[in-house]
Amino acid sequence: MPKSPNARHKTIIQPRSAAILLMVTILDTTWRAFVPTVGGTFLGVGLDKLFGVAPLMTIIMIIVGFATSALLIMLQIKAVRRV
């Protein structure tokens, strides 16, 4: 019995359990929330020391990091809603 040409290229995708999917989403959200904010804080402290304008750059970079975190999380929520 001949097989169709598409039959050999099909892959079986195992469905993920809800618990694993939830855990992956939580971990993905965690780095999106903390890395830009903490990184911005350290970058701001370094720029303050470099330019001698403490605490101006630290405050600016914390705000930029927070805004970046909010944007990344909003993009993640949109991606999850599409699936």
Whole-number mean pLDDT of the chain?
A: 85
Looking at the domain assignment, is residue 17 inside a domain?
Answer: no
2-16 per-residue burial string, b: 16 or more CB within 10 A, e: under 16: eeeeeeeeeeeeeee
Domain span at residue 81 reads 32-83
Looking at the domain assignment, is residue 52 inside a domain?
Answer: yes
pLDDT score at 67: 97
Please tell me the total count of domains within the chain. Answer: 1
Looking at the domain assignment, is residue 8 inside a domain?
Answer: no
Looking at the domain assignment, is residue 10 inside a domain?
Answer: no
More confident residue, 17 or 7: 17
Looking at the domain assignment, is residue 5 inside a domain?
Answer: no
* Cα separation, 65 vs 59, whole angstroms: 10
Looking at the domain assignment, is residue 64 inside a domain?
Answer: yes
- Helices H, strands E: what count in the chain? 2, 0
